C-alpha cells in the first residue's frame, strides 16, 4: 500500500518536514535531480514517484538491475522528442543506480546537464562510493533513515483500514502489530508483507 501523498508518507521528517527544501520542490512541482540512498523499505521509490507525479513532465522508470544501454538510450530519445515538442524535462527514476557501471552512469550526464531529464536515482549503497562523482555533483544527495517502530506501526494501522490495504479489514491484536513493527527493523515493505501473510493465514 504505497502512499499517494506526502501526508501519507511515514518517517523521513528530516527530509520532508514542513518547509524542507525537498518537500517544497515536490509541492511546487519542480523536483531537482537527486540521489536517494537508504535501507530497503525506507521510502525511496515512494518519494521518487510522488516527486514525479507532482512534476509537469513525463515519467520514466528503469531498474539498473535489468536495464541496458539500449533502454537508457530509448528513454533519452523519448525525452528529447518531448523536448522538441515543448514539453518540460522528463523525470527518470533509476532504481538501484549503483548497479550501473561507470560508462552507463556517464551516459546520463549530458541529459542531466542539459536539463533534458530530472534524474532521481535510488540506492541502498553509499552513493559517494558507488555513483560517479560527476553525476553526484549534479544531483542533491538525500539519506533516508530506517523507519522507527512507531512509523511502521502507523503504516500497519492504516493498511488495516484503508481500502488500498488489507482486504476485508481483519481485526489484528495490537500486540501482534507491535511485534510485526519491531520485527521489520524499519522496512515498511517487509512489515506490510508480513501483515498480509498473517491476515491471509488467519482468514
Beta partners for 34? 120, 140
Higher pLDDT, 21 or 5: 21
Res. 90: pLDDT tops 90: yes
The Cα-based distances of 78 to 15, 24, 64, 92 in angstroms read 31, 28, 18, 11
Q: How far apart are CA 86 and CA 139, in angstroms?
A: 24
How many angstroms separate the CA atoms of 169 and 17, rounded?
Answer: 30
Task: Name the residue ranges covered by the structural domains of the chain.
Answer: 6-143, 149-202
- Number of C-beta neighbours around residue 184 at 10 A: 24
DSSP string, 149-194: HHHHHHHHHHHHHSTTSSTT-----HHHHHHHHHHTTT-HHHHHHH
pLDDT confidence of 164, banded at 50, 70, 90? confident
pLDDT-based confidence at 168, cuts 50/70/90?
low
Long-range pairs for 158-162 at CB < 8 Å and ≥24 separation? 158/1, 158/8, 159/1, 159/192, 159/195, 160/195, 162/1
Residue 103: all three cell numbers together: 560508462
Mean pLDDT of 151-156: 84
Residue 203 confidence (pLDDT) above 60: no
Task: List the one residue out of 6, 91, 108, 96 whose CA is nearest residue 52.
Answer: 91
With cut-offs at 50, 70 and 90, classify the pLDDT of residue 186. Answer: confident
This prediction has a pTM of: 0.87
pLDDT tens, 23-40? Answer: 999 999 999 999 999 999
Would you state the pLDDT for residue 178? 83
CATH code of the region 6-143: 3.40.50.300
Report percent pLDDT > 90 for the chain.
Answer: 66
pLDDT of 196: 83
The whole-number average pLDDT for the span 5-10 is 85
- pLDDT value at position 202? 58
Confidence of residue 110 (pLDDT cuts 50, 70, 90): very high
Task: List, in sequence order, every beta strand (DSSP E) within the chain.
Answer: 34-37, 59-63, 90-95, 117-123, 140-143
Amino acid at each position: 500500500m504505497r502512499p499517494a501523498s506526502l501526508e501519507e508518507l511515514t518517517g523521513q521528517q528530516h527530509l520532508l518536514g514542513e518547509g524542507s527544501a525537498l518537500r517544497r520542490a515536490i509541492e511546487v512541482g519542480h523536483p531537482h535531480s537527486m540521489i536517494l540512498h537508504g535501507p530497503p523499505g525506507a521510502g525511496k521509490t515512494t518519494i521518487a514517484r510522488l516527486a514525479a507525479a507532482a512534476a509537469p513532465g513525463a515519467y520514466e522508470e528503469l531498474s539498473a538491475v535489468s536495464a541496458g544501454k539500449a533502454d537508457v538510450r530509448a528513454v533519452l530519445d523519448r525525452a528529447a522528442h518531448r523536448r522538441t515538442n515543448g514539453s518540460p524535462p522528463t523525470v527518470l527514476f533509476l532504481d538501484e543506480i549503483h548497479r550501473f557501471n561507470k560508462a552507463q552512469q556517464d551516459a546520463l550526464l549530458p541529459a542531466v546537464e542539459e536539463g533534458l531529464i530530472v534524474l532521481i536515482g535510488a540506492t541502498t549503497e553509499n552513493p559517494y562510493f558507488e555513483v560517479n562523482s560527476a553525476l553526484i555533483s549534479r544531483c542533491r544527495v538525500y539519506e533516508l533513515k530506517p523507519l522507527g517502530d512507531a512509523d511502521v506501526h502507523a503504516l500497519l494501522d492504516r493498511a488495516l483500514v484503508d481500502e488500498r490495504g488489507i482486504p476485508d479489514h481483519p481485526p489484528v491484536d495490537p500486540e501482534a502489530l507491535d511485534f510485526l513493527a519491531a520485527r521489520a527493523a524499519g522496512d515498511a515493505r517487509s512489515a506490510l508483507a508480513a501483515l498480509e501473510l498473517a491476515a491471509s493465514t488467519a482468514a
